Structure 1
């Protein structure tokens, strides 16, 4: 029998947690449900334990003292042993009744990760009350699709299903809400099969407070874009900066060279030093990009060999 684990990271979700657990238990009666209590200061832990006990479903509460959704997911993926994993938020924004649609491609062997797509049905645009978050989502999605040649509709969805191979070979190095983007990048970079299933999405019910902050999460979006380029496309990142500095160096050097051709002397010594410095730095950056790109390629090869050695374990 296939073991299914539902993972619900929760930080101060006392208003919605019981209904979320009940929804997934109704949709997947045989699944174990694990609530990862992430430093909650309300009754999240007690409500989770009480609800699981009343429903008589397997699972329990895992406490993770390091703040951040990424840390909560990491703890669950390390501690919970299953064949198939479902990840969802505990705030009633994702429909538990559609979990079967996410699991079907996993069971059929058509995907290693299935993403609940909030955008294709138009629900997210209607329900989302934070315009800047929607803008950041589109920005990151466009960059990821451009760099990886993909056509994904929802990069940041928190509603996903995974097979065991993906979960047990995924190194989680992020700690916060960027975990979903990191999962997508890992799957694309390591050539896991991704499928998207349109799901209904609704904003948090009244009384439930979002943990998102427009300015803070806007900064995280920018940091995510920066890290996507730096980690996954180092030649483009460092080579692009190097090329820009090289162009600036050429512009700074034109008056110096022109002066030397006319007079045979260089009077603009500071400008000459600046131009030379920019060109040297640009060459170094391109060299760094080439070296890191080779290392990234070697890491992908090593990862592929490790997956082959793991087989279906």
Structure 2
């Protein structure tokens, strides 16, 4: 391949595994530039990575999302491979991830650990599989696209995807953000099955199952509001109006029977709920117009970027 390749490895306290990860990718992609971004590690991650030939840079803002933001901004290449530094993903699959990009068949490829069952066999951390399935289901329900593995840290991108991706996440929500952005903006996505292996002895996960899981769900809700405001506020409106009718129908029934409004508090509550539902729908309609305008502007920016890149 004549195109340039950058391997992006975000790291935090991965001294146990980083040497092998760098060596494996140097062996499989000798033409690639390997970048290790050290995120305030307390061990010798940066030193070991440099000794094994990686280009080491530091990101002082804590969080994987902050690291990915800096990587995407700083590094220029035709193709990018992003992989965790914990030696759970096989470097041997790197060319399989790049191939659909180089062939013009995909803009993002996703290292799928789930389809072949390797993640279920190797990973013994409780609720990780359940969390992945929940996020996959939510994205399918909201956006209609079924990822085989949405939380994987092994992905590849072309230059246009990376340079037009607005990274907003600070932490482990980044995988969810990348996935939702790709689906919402209609980038071409291909899942590539890979063999997952668990962390070696002495290496530990920095992912908090419940803490980071809650952040991921919050990120999904936030991105749903940003990307599909009419659906988001429409559901809120439907719920509020339904609650208003539940409270208000007995009041109306009593009024028809007696000609007197007997339940003043219920009447006020019912009117307030329906009114708030109408306001929510109005907000959704306005924000939907804003979102469509932003989408059009983003599309034009992508066209400009690709035209400039092809000059």
Does TM, normalized by the shorter one, top 0.5?
Answer: yes
Match status 1:95 vs 2:96: no
Q: Is the 8 A contact 1:136 1:221 kept in 2?
A: no
Q: Which residue in 1 is equivalent to 2:245?
A: 250
Matched, 1:155 2:150: yes
Counterpart residue number, 1:138: 133
Alignment of 1:161-176 (within 5 A): 161-176=156-171
Quote the offset at 1:43 in angstroms. Answer: 1.0
Structure 2, unaligned stretches of length 5 or more? none
Matched with 1:210 is 205
- The answer to whether the 8 A contact 2:83-2:155 is kept is yes
Partner of 1:3: 4
1:149 shift after superposition:
2.3
2:112 matches 1:117: yes
Counterpart in the other structure of 2:180: 185
Kindly provide the CA deviation profile for residues 265-300 of structure 1, in whole angstroms up to 9, marking residues without a partner as x: 223111111011001000000111111122112211
Q: Deviations over 1:25-63 (max 9, x none)?
A: 0001111110000111111111111221xxxxxx51110
Q: Name the structure 2 match of 1:230.
A: 225
Partner residue of 1:272?
Answer: 267
TM-score by length of 1: 0.95
Match of 1:75 among 63, 70, 77: 70
For residues 227-271 of structure 1, the C-alpha deviation after alignment (integer angstroms, 9 at most, x for no partner) is 243222222211111111111111111222122222222231111
| Other-structure match for 1:56 | none
Mean Cα displacement is larger for which, 146-155 or 157-166?
146-155
Aligned residues: 307
Show CA shifts across 1:61-103 (max 9, x none).
1100101111111111111111111100000000001101011
Q: Displaced runs of 4+ in structure 1, greater than 3 A?
A: none
Q: Structure 1: where are the runs of 5+ without partners?
A: 53-58
Q: Give the TM-score normalised by the residue count of structure 2.
A: 0.95
